[in-house]
Amino acid sequence: MGPLSGVRIIELAGIGPGPFCGMMLSDMGAEVIRIDRPAKSTVRRTIDVLARGRKSIAVDLKTKAGVEAVLRLCESADALFEGFRPGVTERLGLGPELCMARNPKLVYGRMTGWGQEGPMAQAAGHDINYISLAGALHAIGNKGGKPVPPLNLVGDFGGGGMLLAFGLVCGILEARGSGKGQVIDSAMVDGAASLMAMFFSMQAVGAMNHERASNMLDGGAHFYDTYETSDGKYISLGSIEPQFYALLLEKAGLDADVFGSQMDKSRWADYKSELTVVFRTKTRDEWCGIMEGTDICFAPVLSLDEVAHHPHNSHRDTFVELEGVTQPAPSPRFDRTVPELTHAARKPGEDSREVLSAAGFSDMEIESLIENGAIRQAE
């Protein structure tokens, strides 16, 4: 029973940040009801990690009966969230005004890339575009090279789904005091901008150079970078503090007099060249034996195939196996209301009857909705 046990949230199924938001909320114990499109496939989507833990009801939102069914579900929900372009849910008959008319305390979350209004609000886009406009992409890449997208971690997930989950919980807490719901405009460009807050501080004091890989935290510093080992693998260093840097020099067998000017940017390139040679003298595992677990701020760079087997991750059960698929465990951890994974992703419509019955629909109503094609029950 996670900390959000007793909270009921409706998810209008989408892609990327929306499902991640739903996963975060269901991982924490919320009852998340996923409104899926009716699908012909009856295969369970166990490999879809982002869709784990939710009940699924398959609804044809092109039918009045299907839309009415969702509106009735809103009557007993704490929140609803969607990830369509601005105006889409209004055209479906599921916009904020109609949903909140059924339940004034409903918190209505809207996940988009550009936001609900603004010159680009109706334009298509992806993570790479949103973090470009937020200043994040410009800062990432090799010196003299082009910007390099950091997967879709910053826009879709950190500045998108996770921020929406935070916003929904904030909205639900506020509604419990005020008795009033509200609309949350969660834009990935805004979220990515929030993640850049510290770097605006650094820029204000002249500590942020606009040239990529020329700053302390972007790979410019020799003590904050990755290095290849003799077996073609990599290790990471983050020896920022002087005492940690001193330990790095000691364990790597480097002359403190030669490498003593840690923060002298004019020396970083030369120092990095020397460290590149040093780290290529041993395998990754050999360097782990020397540096891992010390205050050097060191870690091996692991692949997705390796992460679950690392002793630290294994000890903490950072990764778990659910229905044959290795995946991250719920996070963060609570010592009393412990989150737990209940099941992998459902087939679209696998829980249709159960969800409708729990919401007060009669057996006759449920069968009528299924017969008319407004609702699909997967077998």
Range(s) of the chain covered by CATH 3.40.50.10540:
8-196+319-376
Q: Which residues pair with 183 in a beta bridge?
A: 108
Task: Write down the catalytic residue from 27, 78, 127, 156.
Answer: 156
Residue 200: how many other CB atoms lie within 10 Å: 11
> Is 239 exposed, middle or buried (CB count within 10 Å of its CB: 0-12, 13-18, 19+)?
buried
Domain covering 8-196+319-376: architecture = 3-Layer(aba) Sandwich (3.40)
Query: For this structure, is 156 an active site residue?
Result: yes
Q: What is the pLDDT of residue 39?
A: 80
User: What tens digit of pLDDT does each residue of 176-207 get?
Assistant: 999 999 999 999 999 999 999 999 999 999 99
Does the pLDDT at position 45 exceed 80? no
Average pLDDT over residues 121-136: 97
Which strands make up the sheet holding 31-36, listed edge to edge? 183-187, 107-112, 79-82, 8-12, 31-36, 55-59, 375-376
Contact 253, 301 (CB under 8 A): no
The mean predicted confidence, pLDDT, of the chain is: 96
Query: For this structure, is 126 an active site residue?
Result: yes
Tell me which of 3.40.50.300, 3.30.1540.10, 3.40.50.12780, 3.30.70.270 is the CATH number of domain 226-303: 3.30.1540.10
Distance CA 367, CA 255 (A): 79
**Tokens describing residue 184:** 């949350």
Residue 292: how many other CB atoms lie within 10 Å: 17
Distance CA 377, CA 379 (A): 6
User: What tens digit of pLDDT does each residue of 47-56 get?
Assistant: 999 999 999 9
Does the pLDDT at position 302 exceed 90? yes
| CA atoms lying within 13 Å on the CB side of residue 168 | 31
User: What tens digit of pLDDT does each residue of 95-113 get?
Assistant: 999 999 999 999 999 999 9
Q: What is the pLDDT of residue 364?
A: 97
Pairing state of beta strands 298-300 and 8-12?
unpaired
Q: Enter the pTM of the model.
A: 0.95
User: What tens digit of pLDDT does each residue of 224-241 get?
Assistant: 999 999 999 999 999 999
Range(s) of the chain covered by CATH 3.30.1540.10:
226-303
User: What tens digit of pLDDT does each residue of 135-165 get?
Assistant: 999 999 999 999 999 999 999 999 999 999 9
Average pLDDT over residues 299-326: 97
Does the pLDDT at position 289 exceed 90? yes
Helix runs in 103-204, H state only: 127-133, 162-178, 188-195, 197-204
Contacting residues for 187 by C-beta, under 8 A, at least 6 apart? 112, 113, 114, 115, 116, 130
Q: What is the pLDDT of residue 144?
A: 93
pLDDT bracket for residue 262 (50, 70, 90): very high
pLDDT bracket for residue 285 (50, 70, 90): very high
Kindly state the helix (H) or strand (E) to which residue 70 belongs, with its residue range. helix 64-74
Distance CA 360, CA 147 (A): 53
Task: Write down the catalytic residue from 60, 126, 310, 343.
Answer: 126
pLDDT bracket for residue 1 (50, 70, 90): confident
Does the pLDDT at position 42 exceed 70? no
Pairing state of beta strands 375-376 and 298-300?
unpaired
Distance CA 280, CA 277 (A): 5
